[in-house]
Structure 1
Amino acid sequence: MKKKLACMLLMGTLALSMAACGNGQDKDTGAATENSVESTEGTAESTGTSVESTEAGNAGTQQESGDVASALQSAKKAVTDALGDDYWPDSEIPEEMLNETYGVSADLYDAYLGECPMISVNVDTLLIIHAKDGKVEDVENALNAYRDSLVNDTMQYPMNLGKIQASRVERIGDYVCFVQLGADTSSVEEQGDEAVITYCQEQNELALEAIRQTLE
């Protein structure tokens, strides 16, 4: 009888010990699960912040590009308002021509506005390029090299010699401009080449001043 009672007491003690162990494990598992959820939520919040930061950066870049494009259009309008009927460029300069003819490759700029006449015997040109960071001097050098090639090749456009001689390359902040304007110079041609050059220089200065007031 005593042995039977001792066995029953021993079994009861073992049952209580197992129940206590089970409760401890459940608590540990619950705590681990809760920590895992909190960690996941933290990761999600961090990822969300990263996405928001990326989206904000993209939005900022798009806004900056839009601002540059708008500034270029405003500069052109300022030039056409200043020159009126004496603004002859009417055809867009494509990117291929900007690279092959003017020597300005795509890695040097992020936006530009360029126009020249559709009729090739006319040389009136307006070109405004927004250079990438650190590339302003490279763009300026390329346009000066192009201008020098025109000046040295006077036989190609002898009737526009004065207009070519009067052309200008000018840096305005992050923008580099090439202006070769003058439109109809017949009214001063009888006075000689110097008169034509002076007249075209005045037209170019009108254009550049309009651009400065817009971009500076």
Structure 2
Amino acid sequence: MKKNTLFILGLAAILTMGIATGCGNSGTVDSGSTNNGEQVSVESGLISTFHEAIRNAYGDNYLPNTQLDEESFTQKYGVDKSNVKNFLAEIPMIGTFVDTLVIVETQEGKADAVEASLNEYRDVLLADTMQYPMNLAKINSSVVYRVDEYVFFIMLGAIDEENEEESAQLSFAQDEVQKAIDAINEVVNQ
């Protein structure tokens, strides 16, 4: 009887750690400043430049291949189109993959609202328990990233097929997302 109790307590502890790991990453990264703390001002019209840099960073591991139109974009992500100057939203055609890239150039002063909408979308993904297990690390490592009037939702990269441990898969997925952030920062710092 004691062995069963210990087993149940151990299992509960593992599940709690897994939930804490998934919920501990807020998924929001704000890059409104440079490495030395100065505010960054990013020119308008760079969506295709950001997109190309991110695609190049992933190479064959860039899976989104279907662009959403304005109506699909606003419905899926809950973004008010009056806050959007321009956008690009790509998802994979095959539904078993979750890879997603959203780049929004917001109207002046509307980046906070767009960022909030994309974070709400991310929260829904985190709460959805019907995901394929192979996508859980990728979903948990997704981020909403912001630079000046641009807001990004990033859920991209390869899947760690070598490690079965959740923490290793999450770390791998976070490193994959960092590739997009690095590509964005390269464009900003040019």
TM-score normalised to structure 2 length: 0.72
Q: Could you tell me whether the CA contact under 8 Å between 1:86 and 1:184 is conserved in 2?
A: no
Residues 92-107 of structure 1: matches in 2 within 5 Å?
A: 92-107=67-82
1:107-155 per-position Cα deviation (integer Å, ceiling 9, x unaligned): 1111011111110110001111001011110000000000000001122
Letter in 2 for 1:143: L
Q: Is structure 2 residue 136 aligned with structure 1 residue 161?
A: yes
Instruction: Show structure 1 runs of 5+ residues with no match.
Output: 1-66
1:110 is aligned with what amino acid?
K
Kept in 1, the 8 Å contact 2:90–2:101? The answer is yes
Question: Across the two proteins, how many residue pairs are aligned to each other?
Answer: 147
Paired residue secondary structure (1:128): strand
Residue 204 of structure 1 corresponds to which residue in structure 2? 177
Q: Which residue of 2 aligns with 1:44?
A: none
Would you tell me which structure has more helix in proportion to its own residues? 1
Offset at 1:105? 2.0
Provide the C-alpha distance between the structure 2 equivalents of 1:76 and 1:120, rounded to a whole number of angstroms.
Answer: 22
CA distance in 2 between partners of 1:157 and 1:95 (Å):
27
TM, length-normalised to structure 1: 0.64
Structure 2 unaligned residues grouped into runs of 5+: 1-42
8 Å CA contact retained: 2:96, 2:132: yes
CA RMSD of superposed structures (Å): 1.6
Distance 1:88 1:187, change over 3 A: farther
Q: Give percent identity, aligned residues only.
A: 39
CA distance in 1, matches of 2:49, 2:188: 9
The structure number with the bigger radius of gyration is 1
Equivalent pair of 1:171/1:177 in contact (CA under 8 Å): yes
Amino acid corresponding to residue 83 of structure 1 in structure 2 = Y
